[in-house]
Amino acid sequence: MEPKRHITVIETASILVSTIIGVGVLPLPLFAVNAGDSGAPLITFVAVLFATVGVVLIAVLGMRFPEQTIVQYGETIIGKWPGRLGSLLVIGFFAVLTSLTAREFGEVVVTAVLKKTPVEVTVIVMLLLAALSVRNNLTTFSYIHYFYFPLLLFPALFIVALSLKNADVQNILPIWGNRPVGVTRGIITITALFQGSFILTSVIPHMRRPEYAMRASMVGMLVAGGLYVIIVAATVSVFGAEETKKLLWPTLELAKATSLPANVLERLDAAFLAVWVTAVFTTLLSSYFLTIQSASQLLKLKDHRMFSFFLLPFVFVMAMQPQNIVQMYQIIELVGRIGLFITIAYPAMLLVVSILRKKRGERVDDRSNP
Amino acid sequence: MTTDRILKLGRRLIVASFFVIALTGCWDRLEIEERAVVLGVSIDTASPEAEAEEDEVSHLQGSQPVPSKDMVRVAVQIALPGRIPLGPGESGGGGKGSAGQTVWVVDVVGHSVDDAIMNLQQQISSRLFFGHLRVIVVSEQLAKKGLENVNDYFRRNSEVRRMAWMMVSKGSAKDLMVAAPKLERVPTLYLMSTLDEGIRMGKFPKDYIGIFWSNSSKKGQEGFLPYVEIKKEQNVEVKGLAFFRGSKMVGKSNPLQIAGYLGVKGINPAGYRVFVKLDGAPSTVMTAAAHRSSKIGLRIRNGIPVFSIQIAIDVNLEEKMGDKIHINDPKTLRRIELLQEEGSDKSYKDFLEMTQKLGSDIFGFGEIVRSKQPAFWNRHVKSKERWQEMYKEVEFEVSTSIKIRRIGMKGK
């Protein structure tokens, strides 16, 4: 497959945004208030900064090796076998992330909407949908994201804006929080929600102008991070920090407490869930794609499609491992923390080594050729 | 070729997955007539003897122990499909004033709310659906015992909306479910509109169940609920505010003190009327508040928060009792203003003092301390319990400014 270079900057940014916004938005305010009560928006903001560091590392690496993904340049930078080990970790981590995303999605749906539907069914439907969609090439992949991006961002902003009717600024004061406990933990957990941004490494080799990868990633982080901070600020200012701590999915509760003007719709949780299902799908699509594309590149296969259904049973079985919702969130937090080593520490290490060893990928010559 | 085979397999899987997607929708299919749509719920305490009424639905003697001897009586108002007119055009049966027409009221006892609901489900064929629950009434007796169980059950239930109303009834809560006020076809909608209209007329603050929950959770604030009573024409009177401390009701106010709350918070529109007595009964006038605004300042004096509350109210003169005074004189108006200011100052202070005695900070003064003076809060208060104690000692400086703006259509 000849890498065609025609993914634009805006498409890259939209891939980032719609990948990052996913299941995590529902428990996000809970993570944030548990760390810093009324300082929740600030905690989220700091987490966004940390996540941005990770994205910047990947973007810089991508710009050094504009023809390759992390699986390929990993081998160049730190040698064949260490590189392969690193790639294996990336593949394993994103497979786990995919399964946890699907499971979290299933739990929310079964708790909040389809109470009698077995969780296995909601999970497998979502995974099947992702498995089918990743069979497309990267161009179609980026179009899917580009298409859903506005459908995801604007309704979410709209719902948040409406909810501000019930907001009270006093609830998010003082902005640094009263008794912040476990700030570091909270920041790490929220930073982990941005790990989908790793998809950038697959996108850069197909960008029309890889040197703009940094610009795209900044725009993407600004939009996704901005939305996250806004959601946390809105939720906490509507409910207050203490009430938010009592809610499992504060963002969903926010939609539930929000009504359209003149009570056309008295609760927006159904509308919000519809948007959210799309958001989960795009997230799942990216992590699934990243997993199978990296796996096929590791094995030097030409086509990534082969893995799409091969991976499905493994991901599904992993998704079914957590025994209950409390355990699931413990696992998600743990996996997220471990994941930071893979999504931030590993690229950082690669970058340092590549600078020390003065390794560079080939430059892209024909930029005008679409 | 292998890729061919994979492609074929892929295609088959696509077809199979379509089946999966098409079939899944049916698990939660529930036709509207198969639902028992619950519009209102009332919760009373029940005597331990009520246990005799109950069958062992969610517990067994011995093996599944019951939590305690305290029982609750839960009554639900279920909408009857087809009986609720959908628009003004359908004039249905009308006339008869019983709740039996559009809704069905069933009551049951249980050891907890969920237990009672389960007992009820055992007696009702359709699945109980709480998505349209608008009003939850709890009796004063239950509220005084504590609403932990009630709050927990409804917070956990994903169908319940945060825009529903919760209210405390004087006497039996079930009476409000059975009552059938004539103004609305559906009794709970009447209950709801009593309060919703109250908000619009400036007679009641916004206090949906979600707001009550949020306020009770806050460290520097307590929740309150509307306190209602059923009157002889099956109409409902808003009798005041029921103060909570944590999830226990600790006291109640009278109706005019709701205006006290609204005034301190500066909530608009304003809608209460008061008498102002100028030299003796014959020259008493009545004024109606039109606009309120308030400013709350905070400073710390000798380790105690001092709140200065400045309330400004625009009023219109509505009524005069005798002919002795002429209100087309600015001096008279000024006198009325001053007299009312004096009276208001005192009533606000009394009201604040009353909540202080109960240790129930329904205004959220503690939240002001927490957000504006975090250093003081972190050092001296920290917890909700500590604030409940400290609230009894805080000081208030209230000053009211009344301005009469209009006197109606009469010149004198």
Residue B15 covered by a domain? no
Q: For A171, name the nearest residue in chain B, comparing CA atoms only.
A: B371
**Number of domain units in chain B:** 2
In angstroms, the separation between the Cα of residue A161 and the nearest Cα of chain B is 18
Buried b (16+ CB within 10 A) or exposed e, A85-101: ebbeebbebbbbbbbbb
Q: Per the omega criterion (within 30 degrees of 0), is the bond before A205 cis?
A: no
pLDDT of amino acid B89: 46
Between helix A9-20 and helix A138-163 the angle, nearest 10°, is 60
Of B10, B20, B27, the CB nearest to A124: B20
Whether the Cβ atoms of residue B356 and residue B388 lie closer than 8 Å to each other: no
All residues of chain A having their beta carbon less than 8 Å from the beta carbon of residue B217 are 239-240, 242-243, 245-246
Using alpha carbons, select from B155, B163, B161, B146 the residue that is nearest to residue B114: B155
Residue B242: pLDDT above 80?
Answer: yes
All residues of chain B having their beta carbon less than 8 Å from the beta carbon of residue A38 are 370-371
Q: In whole angstroms, what is the distance from residue B401 CA to residue A278 CA?
A: 55
Q: In whole angstroms, what is the distance from residue A133 CA to residue B82 CA?
A: 45
B164 in the same domain as B46: yes
Quick: pLDDT tens for A178-212: 777 788 888 999 999 998 888 988 888 888 888 88
Using alpha carbons, select from A167, A230, A185 the residue that is nearest to residue A34: A185
pLDDT of amino acid B24: 54
User: Structurally, what CATH architecture does the domain formed by A9-356 represent?
Assistant: Up-down Bundle (1.20)
Q: In whole angstroms, what is the distance from residue B382 CA to residue B386 CA?
A: 7
Q: In whole angstroms, what is the distance from residue B180 CA to residue B194 CA?
A: 13
Q: In whole angstroms, what is the distance from residue A139 CA to residue A207 CA?
A: 10
Q: What is the 3-state secondary structure (H, E, C) of B320-386?
A: ECCCCCCCCCHHHHHHHHHHHHHHHHHHHHHHHHHHHHHCCCCCCHHHHHHHHCHHHHHHHHCCHHH
Residue B184: pLDDT above 80?
Answer: no
Contact B10 A135 (CB under 8 A): yes
Q: In whole angstroms, what is the distance from residue B253 CA to residue B226 CA?
A: 10
Quick: pLDDT tens for B342-353: 888 888 899 999
Residue B11 covered by a domain? no
Quick: pLDDT tens for A211-233: 888 899 999 999 999 999 999 99
B129 in the same domain as B105: yes
B329 in the same domain as B207: no
Whether the Cβ atoms of residue B331 and residue B354 lie closer than 8 Å to each other: no
On whether any CB of chain A is under 8 Å from the CB of B371, the answer is yes
Residue B17: pLDDT above 80?
Answer: no
Residue A355: pLDDT above 80?
Answer: yes
Taking residues B57-82, report their average pLDDT: 75
Residue B115 covered by a domain? yes
Whether the Cβ atoms of residue A97 and residue A195 lie closer than 8 Å to each other: yes
B158 in the same domain as B46: yes
Query: What mean pLDDT, rounded, does chain A reach?
Result: 87
Contact A132 B14 (CB under 8 A): yes
On whether any CB of chain A is under 8 Å from the CB of B21, the answer is yes
All residues of chain A having their beta carbon less than 8 Å from the beta carbon of residue B364 are 170
Q: In whole angstroms, what is the distance from residue B166 CA to residue B155 CA?
A: 12
B357 in the same domain as B337: yes
Contact B371 A173 (CB under 8 A): yes
Q: What contacts B54, CB < 8 A, 6 or more positions away?
A: B71, B108, B109, B110, B119
Strands B284-301, B304-320: parallel, antiparallel or unpaired by DSSP? antiparallel
Helices vs strands, H then E, count in chain A: 16, 0
B38 in the same domain as B178: yes
pLDDT of amino acid A226: 93
Token representation of residue A91: 């593949």
Last residue of a domain, which of B252, B277, B309?
Answer: B252
Three-state DSSP state, B295: strand
Residue B27 covered by a domain? no
Query: What mean pLDDT, rounded, does chain B reach?
Result: 82
Q: In whole angstroms, what is the distance from residue B408 CA to residue B288 CA?
A: 11
Whether the Cβ atoms of residue B365 and residue B307 lie closer than 8 Å to each other: yes
Of A125, A243, A306, the CB nearest to B217: A243
On whether any CB of chain B is under 8 Å from the CB of A111, the answer is yes
B296 in the same domain as B198: no
Domain that holds residue B386: 256-406
pLDDT of amino acid B323: 79
Quick: pLDDT tens for B357-371: 888 889 989 989 988
Quick: pLDDT tens for A74-86: 888 888 888 889 8
Number of residues assigned to chain A: 370
On whether any CB of chain B is under 8 Å from the CB of A113, the answer is yes
Strands B71-79, B103-110: parallel, antiparallel or unpaired by DSSP? antiparallel
Q: How confident is the model at residue B85 (pLDDT cuts 50, 70, 90)?
A: low
Token representation of residue B35: 């639902």
Q: What are the beta bridge partners of residue B78?
A: B38, B104
B53 in the same domain as B168: yes
Quick: pLDDT tens for B108-166: 888 888 888 888 888 888 888 888 888 999 999 889 888 888 899 998 888 888 888 99
Taking residues A342-352, report their average pLDDT: 89
Least confident of A34-48, B85-99, B208-222, B380-394: B85-99
Write phi, then psi, for B169 (nearest 5 degrees).
-105, 145
Q: For B381, name the nearest residue in chain A, comparing CA atoms only.
A: A178
B304 in the same domain as B232: no
Quick: pLDDT tens for A276-330: 888 999 999 999 999 998 888 888 887 878 888 888 899 999 999 989 999 999 9
B201 in the same domain as B59: yes
Token representation of residue B62: 């011995």
B290 in the same domain as B151: no
% chain B with pLDDT above 70: 85
Contact B27 A266 (CB under 8 A): no
Q: For B208, name the nearest residue in chain A, comparing CA atoms only.
A: A257
Last residue of a domain, which of B216, B236, B252?
Answer: B252
In angstroms, the separation between the Cα of residue B297 and the nearest Cα of chain A is 14
% chain A with pLDDT above 90: 27
Quick: pLDDT tens for A97-108: 999 999 999 999
pLDDT of amino acid B267: 83
Place of tokens 């390929």: A72
Taking residues B82-92, report their average pLDDT: 55
Token representation of residue B8: 């074929």
In angstroms, the separation between the Cα of residue A97 and the nearest Cα of chain B is 23
Q: In whole angstroms, what is the distance from residue B208 CA to residue B225 CA?
A: 9
Higher pLDDT pick, A329 / B9: A329
Q: In whole angstroms, what is the distance from residue B248 CA to residue B250 CA?
A: 6
pLDDT of amino acid A209: 85
Contact B13 A309 (CB under 8 A): yes
Q: For A270, name the nearest residue in chain B, comparing CA atoms only.
A: B159
**A vs B: CB pairs below 8 A:** 95
Tell me the domain boundaries of chain A. Answer: 9-356
Question: How many CA atoms, within 13 angstroms, populate the side-chain half-sphere of residue A277?
Answer: 16
Contact A257 B378 (CB under 8 A): no
Report ipTM (2 d.p.).
0.83
Last residue of a domain, which of B196, B225, B252?
Answer: B252
Ranked by mean pLDDT, which of A263-267, A308-312, B307-311 comes out on top? B307-311
B175 in the same domain as B67: yes
Residue B28: pLDDT above 70?
Answer: no
- In eight-state DSSP terms, residue B401 is E
Strands B224-230, B236-245: parallel, antiparallel or unpaired by DSSP? antiparallel
